[in-house]
Amino acid sequence: MALVETSARRAARLLERLFAPLPHPVGFRLRDGSVVRAGAPGEPGFAIVLPTRRIFRRLLARPTPYRFGEAYVEGGLDIEGDVLAAMRAGQHPEDLRRPLAVRLAALAEVVRP
């Protein structure tokens, strides 16, 4: 019997792949409460809380510092822990070179019902 991959596990794998090249450790808390770590090894000291699928999709469509900052100011996401560490890590998403397969996976997640 094959195991069905949950949406939280798909989201975790996608976040790990998208943010793996970051020079800082990054933490994400998904809407089911699970925590995903990406980027450089180590404890991130913070977690970006993505409480809804809508916010998750919006940020994956274009994960830029502006989009994360805008979502934070609008109350769409929260940061648990060290906000300054989150700001330092947030300066790098635009510099990520994502392989085509990862970009396509992000796009597929964004359009998935």
Q: What is the pLDDT along the chain (113 residues), one digit of tens a residue?
A: 344 457 888 888 888 888 888 888 999 999 999 999 998 899 999 999 999 988 988 888 777 788 888 999 999 999 999 998 888 877 765 556 666 676 667 667 655 66
pLDDT score for 23: 85
pTM of the complete model: 0.80
CATH classification of 7-111, choosing from 3.40.50, 3.30.1050, 1.10.3470, 1.10.10? 3.30.1050
pLDDT score for 18: 84
pLDDT score for 3: 47
Domain extent listing, the chain: 7-111
Q: Over the chain, what HEC string results?
A: CCCCCCHHHHHHHHHHHHHCCCCCEEEEECCCCCEEEEECCCCCCEEEECCCHHHHHHHHHCCCHHHHHHHHHCCCCEEEECHHHHHHHCCCHHHCCCCHHHHHHHHHHHHCC
